[in-house]
Chain A
């Protein structure tokens, strides 16, 4: 078991040792002789590193302030980190390179990167004056108050505290009329002012004037609780604790204001030279190629590095195509680094160059016209030109080309630049293409009106079809009308009894959709019971049939009163049937 555990530890050690790296980090790289810097040497991948040896440290007094180790397991991957912390106090002023830091791990040396520190005189460079009797104050400064258009300058906001601050809220300026970009994360360091150590929180922005004229960077306001000195709280050792420390010390709510800063953005001098690239700053241009011997049709990669102090976001390489070469550009990469003298930007371009002819060819230098604010003049910067030894292409390629002249003779279109699609000049552009309100209303009426029209037509048509097709229904609906029409003429009939019984039979026949004349008193019950006619009505009808048939075949002459009785009886029975018949 113990053996397995040792094996596991050894394997873990070997995994860590495979990814060892060393990095150094400073909390400030521009200080005065009165200040001190915190240096961290971070060793990743092992915990068994020796104490680091820091090169270039002869210009500083170095004191070790602590060591810490960290073991992290994230998604099954284990990382080990060991951090050595140091305090550096400068011995002399100047610009120094610190590092690399060298650590020894099991006999192998690992090196870190280097860092640059600028140490300035205390009296001349440091103009910060601490207000008397206060535990906190803020300041906002710019490195230039009258930059040129598109020239970069740095705005720095600093919070100085002696006893810490909590619940801080910062209302930052909006930088109207300026393009802004925050420079890295906020920095925390210690600074000596008149022999007293202050904890400093610093936030910097890179600003650019968008157009000529006067602009004002508004006030920056900080609201927070200042810890009253001497209230019994122990001052923390870590910088974070001292600046935003918690605890139970007595606090006082304060508002600190960094004054507004007027900026005058100057126009670039005129006349501007032809081919001015629009770049404002102090730049240099370097170019190199990955090989100097190449075959026709093969590509050489040229790497162009444009770097310096200024905005490079919109920088592009000029077109270089000649009869002897064609080229293709890759997407450039941009980097910015905060260094003691400002923000160093570098943009790397990759250009694939393809020679068209064999022989010794010279690829021309790249030239850029820039404006240098330091010299207040336009300058032309350029890279070197390159001599290329171009060999003939492969024979196979040549044969292939010869076999397919139509393909090889065509040249693919190369995109040399991008711009907007042009504006429209035709007066037809002034014709209103969109539908007017009245046209839209008409279309809505068509869309909504057609279904209504359809259902209306369908109603009419269906009625017609129904009346044409359903005889039963027709007879039923027409029965009452025919009865009433004939009933009016009945009184004048010469064959009154026969016509009266036939009138009623026809009516019943229509209502029941049968031959009315064939109905006898014996059919009445069969026909009318299913149609929900009252039994009393049915009995009355049967009685009426019986009496009138007897009168018809009995040869009885009817008086006028007799006729009236029959008429009223017929009418009465008609009304009862109309009222009672449901179907």
Chain B
């Protein structure tokens, strides 16, 4: 383990304990810039932003943490806590709702590989011996393989570029530029997917299907 990162982690935690959240945020940001796959650091960063009244950033980092550690109850609790502070109610348009799979892509891959090994080994045995148990084993693991492959494929093809509003209130426009029609407004902590980026603007899509352009300086993605 890199000793610089460890020192930075410990000093950031101390800053957090003393209420110096700005220093804690800077420290956690530095760690993440070096190692971007640490769910616990994202959790700490989300907490520091939450304590600093940065609701948008807090929601964003809790979601990052949850994508790396989807079954962590503390992260789930803090994200729910942050969601309760948000203003906008956005209902999901999808029939599957805002479904979050409780496994990371790495865990899905390990499971798929395991199923694959058992399934093909059983099939190989069946070439020599027409026993019942390899056939049953093959069928079970083939079913499990398909069961796991579907959500894994969805995670691959799903648009993973999500964003969160960080300003108290933002206008969502019909096209790039403030001269265009304001379609609707969002408040701090509102979540969306980013479909496209152009200059200082981003085309966003809400879970309920609403779409529009927002200035990038008012969101985090």
Contacts and interface: CB of A to CB of B under 8 A. Distances in A.
A424 B40 contact: yes
A179 B106 contact: no
Contacts of A453: 120
A288 to B, nearest CB: 30
Interface residues of B, number: 51
A440 B9 contact: no
Interface string B63-81: 0000011000111011001
The SS class assigned to the B binding surface is: helix
Interface string B99-129: 0000011100110110011011001100110
Interface string A413-449: 0000010111111110111111100011001101100
B41 interface: yes
A540 B9 CA distance: 97
Contacts of A454: 120, 123-124
Contacts of B127: 457-458, 461
B147 interface: no
Given A210-B168, A433-B68, A434-B37, A424 B120 contact: no
Contacts, number: 110
A420 B106 contact: no
Nearest to B76: A421
Contacts of A450: 116-117, 119-120
A422 B78 CA distance: 9
Given A420-B47, A421-B74, A430-B6, A443 B109 contact: yes
Given A180-B169, A418-B81, A430-B1, A446 B116 contact: yes
Interface in A77-133: none
Nearest to B51: A420
A2 B86 CA distance: 62
A499 B9 CA distance: 94
A453 B123 CA distance: 12
Interface of B: 1-2, 5-6, 9-10, 13, 16, 31, 35, 37-41, 43-44, 47-48, 50-51, 53, 68-69, 73-75, 77-78, 81, 104-106, 109-110, 112-113, 116-117, 119-120, 123-124, 127-128, 167-171, 178
A434 B123 CA distance: 32
A176 interface: yes
A420 B81 contact: yes
A276 interface: no
Given A421-B74, A434-B68, A457-B127, A178 B81 contact: no
Q: Give the interface centre of A175, A434, A446 by most chain B CB atoms within 10 Å.
A: A434
Nearest to B127: A461
A446 B41 contact: no
Nearest to A446: B113
A179 B40 CA distance: 31
A446 B117 contact: yes
Contacts of B119: 450
A174 B1 contact: no
B69 A433 contact: yes
A231 B158 CA distance: 61
Given A430-B5, A430-B9, A432-B37, A443 B47 contact: no
A87 to B, nearest CB: 36
Nearest to A426: B40
A258 B42 CA distance: 44
